[in-house]
Structure 1
Amino acid sequence: MTSSLCPFAAATHAVDLIHNHLRQDTGVHRDQLPNGSPVWVVGGYEAVANLLADHRMSAAKSDSTTKFRGQNLPRALDMNLLNIDGEQHRRVRQLATAAFAPEHHTAHKRVVADAAKRLVADLPATGELDLMSGLCEPLPPRVIGTLLGIPKDKLGQFQTAARPMFAVDTSKEGDAIQGALGSMLMLVADAIGDKRQHPGGDMLSGWIAARDGEDRLSEEELISLAFATIIGGFENVTALTALVIDEAVRFRSAETRVAVDAADSGSLPKLVREIIGDVAPVNYALRRFPLEDIEVNGITIPRGETVILSLRSANTDPSRGARPDLAFGRGRHYCIGASLAETEAVEALRYAFLRWPRLRPMKERSALALRRSWLTYSLAELSVYAG
């Protein structure tokens, strides 16, 4: 029941080996997080998909019986959709989801396409390129910054504050995380203050109106919602976009060129969705706490103990068959920004191949540097030959 491979190894290309191992035996393993906290790690499609949708699995830390603390977020950042459940989660999610509703898709796509097109145009037409620094890294902040109404000259500060939160949990990096959280809190609070004085047609102004006009959000919920949107919209989407482009360049180049040139506007999104199912960067769903003792594959997990679900082991499970991937989760905590993230990957890939139809990788994937995180499989570089 104890995993022989560390499921929280960071910056390793052996990520599939680790998560494949989590499907072995019962698929339920007892382990420790890098900070020493005891956890249950669950692998395999059937178990992970069921637990993601199980109403008995709470995301609220108040339901932990082991005093789980996580990153010790300030309360003003802790009331986000990832950390709440029940009626509060339903209310906040309903409001937040409205900003990502299908009727906004066309407008969001224009923002994404414009940003991707500009970034690609600024890069050389031939030669060696790092599409991580040139495209994948700057694209998500530009998009989410535009949608939230954050001034361009502030985006770098938000990026700097966000990055340590995805690092390996060691004492040194833990200190960096706490400093970053303080910076993020001030940045978000300042952005909200500016929007109160100068509202616009952006998401943040809409959420402020809901807070101040209809009193549907507390101030802490408002700050936390903006915080989670920024965090989810920066690093995770950068990782996703880079892996999609890398996969397309390495293994599906001809297919991608056909989809980019196709008159059918659905060809490229369909291809990208397939790729995401294979290479989604998020290794684990956010921890859950059972509201009662639960049994998983014959193993009893006591009420309130910390459970980590391996999305990667589920997505790569041969028994998954044609069932939907879990790249963005499942159930009431399904990622509200999934459609936007997919659009960013689609448009980044589209404009990369329009600019450089013959993109080729410079290195084997196993030689590419990785970001130090066990939460995501995230490239630190995306070296290609353009031309």
Structure 2
Amino acid sequence: MTGTTHEDSFTEDYWRDPHETLARTRETSPVREVEFETGPTWLVTRYADVRAGLTDERLAKDWRSSLPEEERASAPPGLPAPMSHMLTSLDPPEHTRLRNLVVQAFTARRIAELRPRVEAVAAELLDALPEHEPVDLVARYAIVLPMVVICELLGVPEIDREEFARLSTVLIDECPEPEMVLASTRMADYLEGLVAAKRAAPDSALLSALITASDEGDRLSDLEIVAMAMLLLMAGHETTAVFITNSVRALLADPAGLDRLASPASAPSLVEELLRWLSPAINASLRFATEDLEIGGVAIRRGESVMLSTGGANRDPAQFPEPTRFDPDRDTAGHLAFGHGIHRCLGAALVRLEGEVGLSALFSRFPLMRAAADPADLTFRRSVHVHAPRTFPVVLGPRTEPGE
């Protein structure tokens, strides 16, 4: 969803550091109405309210669920196809059916088996980077690593990564609706052609498996296949790219936790605290009230939209003591970086793996890396869903070869 909010909610200060704005909102008006182009939305920022909202069946992903039953069939979807058929836009039973078709591809065991390949991709990318001149870590590493991995997992051939990343950014960031529709159409056209090619010449990857499931009677339409592929491709690189970029920024500013990356025993706890502290998906996509209800004592009317802030929840002092302090030793159990409930991120294990491998490989190869730009000079994406700089120039410094 794209849009603008009241200027006292989503200002330039918010785009640069949303956590300060979310903290003020959580303290003064934890369930607050903000204004989008599509209408008012309730922003929810307290941990208890957000966690409860993520599992509340009265908050639907498809806005049509809030309409009287006789009006639903004729109402248009809230997003253009195929985005309207993504898991993130659906409720049970459609959501359950589609999720069950892909969930086995993202189990912790299967993702763990990808570690050698993720390590190899990271090494190849790092080998190609210059040592002593500024390099954009976003474009040359943080985006490319997860994109290569998710494309291989799905069976998508190497594509124009720069163009694909641009289209994905348009669909996630604040962009005019015509631009969003055009980006969705271009990405869908590419994937429709790919589905046809895979049907003619299947392989062992996930996209062919989805096509086979459809052909064997699991009632998966071509539109649903394209929507699933689009979602997995977008989510499969966006979240990890944002996470790696912001984690590097955080660790360069406060290197106290860097020694943990070298240890397989301690790296996971560092990654979990980075996930809590940074919240790669800072606000969940919209939900819609299917009946009158209350959130945090605030009345929400049927049909009104609700945005649950996982970033606000993950820095709620009621759940995490001294939440603004980065502490790899803290108990991060229950953090909501990947959501909660039936819409919990399918790729959580993959993000963890790529984050751990990507950060460990980068800092072990370039231990003297430094930022090449003043933080005040960075420009940030205008997105209510993710928070990240558009570019992040660094000077990597002399490399340490693997095994040294």
- State the TM-score, normalizing by the size of structure 1: 0.90
Q: Describe how 1:156-167 pairs up with structure 2 within 5 A.
A: 156-167=162-173
- Could you say which residue in structure 2 is the equivalent of 1:137? 143
- Given the alignment, which residue of 53, 56, 80 partners 1:73? 80
- Given the alignment, which residue of 301, 309, 329 partners 2:339? 329
Tell me the CA shift for residue 355 of structure 1.
Answer: 1.2
Does residue 350 (structure 1) correspond to residue 353 (structure 2)? The answer is no
Q: Describe how 1:147-158 pairs up with structure 2 within 5 A.
A: 147-158=153-164
Tell me the CA shift for residue 216 of structure 1.
Answer: 4.1
Does residue 124 (structure 1) correspond to residue 126 (structure 2)? The answer is no
Residue 72 of structure 1 aligns to which amino acid in structure 2? L
CA displacement 1:264-307 (0-9 Å, x = unmatched): x2322221121111012322111111222111222110122111
Residue 191 of structure 1 aligns to which amino acid in structure 2? L
Tell me the CA shift for residue 206 of structure 1.
Answer: 1.2
- Given the alignment, which residue of 93, 103, 113 partners 2:99? 93
> Is 1:31–1:41's contact at 8 Å kept on the other side of the alignment?
yes
Distance 1:179 1:104 in 2: 35
Q: How many residues align?
A: 377
Secondary structure of the residue aligned to 2:87 is coil
- Given the alignment, which residue of 41, 45, 53 partners 1:43? 45
Distance 1:315 1:216 in 2: 38
Secondary structure of the residue aligned to 2:88 is coil
CA displacement 1:316-370 (0-9 Å, x = unmatched): 1111125521111111100001111121111111111121112222344343221
CA displacement 1:42-63 (0-9 Å, x = unmatched): 1111111111121222112212
> Is 1:243–1:280's contact at 8 Å kept on the other side of the alignment?
no
Secondary structure of the residue aligned to 1:326 is coil
Distance 1:325 1:56 in 2: 23
Secondary structure of the residue aligned to 2:174 is coil
Secondary structure of the residue aligned to 2:189 is helix
Q: Describe how 1:91-240 pairs up with structure 2 within 5 A.
A: 91-169=97-175, 173-240=176-243
- Given the alignment, which residue of 362, 366, 386 partners 1:376? 386
Between the two proteins, what is the percent identity of the paired residues?
27
Q: CA RMSD in A?
A: 2.4
Distance 1:361 1:156 in 2: 23
Tell me the CA shift for residue 165 of structure 1.
Answer: 0.8
Distance 1:54 1:240 in 2: 27
Distance 2:55 2:251 in 1: 31
Secondary structure of the residue aligned to 1:314 is helix
- Could you say which residue in structure 2 is the equivalent of 1:315? 314
Q: Describe how 1:249-328 pairs up with structure 2 within 5 A.
A: 249-251=252-254, 253-256=255-258, 258-262=259-263, 265-321=264-320, 322=331, 323-328=333-338
> Is 2:6–2:35's contact at 8 Å kept on the other side of the alignment?
no
Distance 2:369 2:309 in 1: 32
- Could you say which residue in structure 1 is the equivalent of 2:30? 27
Tell me the CA shift for residue 10 of structure 1.
Answer: 8.2
> Is 1:26–1:297's contact at 8 Å kept on the other side of the alignment?
no
Does residue 61 (structure 1) correspond to residue 63 (structure 2)? The answer is yes
Residue 312 of structure 2 aligns to which amino acid in structure 1? S
Distance 1:197 1:11 in 2: 48
Q: What stretches of structure 1 of length at least 5 have no aligned partner? A: none
Distance 1:110 1:174 in 2: 41
- State the TM-score, normalizing by the size of structure 2: 0.86
Evaluate the alpha carbon distance shift between residue 160 and residue 381 of structure 1 in structure 2; reply closer, same or farther with a 3 A threshold: closer
